[in-house]
Structure 1
Amino acid sequence: MHGPALAGWLMVALCAATGAYCLLRMRSPVAAQRESAGGEALMGFGMAVMAVPAAVLWPPWWVWAGYALVFGGATLRALWAVRGAAHHLHHVVGTLAMVYMAVAMAVTPAAHAGHTGAGVPMLTGVLLLYFGGYVLRSGARLVPVPATAAGGGGTPPAAAWGDRAEIATVCRLSMGIAMFAMLLVM
Structure 2
Amino acid sequence: MTRRVPDRSKDTIDSAVHRSMVDTEKINRAIERVARGDDDFIDDAIGKLKDLQFPAFKHKILEHVRNKTQDQDIIGLFEGLDGYIAFKDAYHIRKIIEENGTKYKQQYQISDETRKRPNFARQKIRGGGIKEREVANKSEERKDYPEIPPTTQSNYICDKCGKEFQNQHDLVNHKRFEGD
TM-score of the two chains, using structure 1 as the length reference: 0.21
Q: Which structure shows the bigger proportion of residues in helix conformation? A: 1
TM-score of the two chains, using structure 2 as the length reference: 0.22
Structure number with higher relative contact order (C-alpha < 8 Å, ≥ 6 residues apart)? 1
Larger radius of gyration: 2
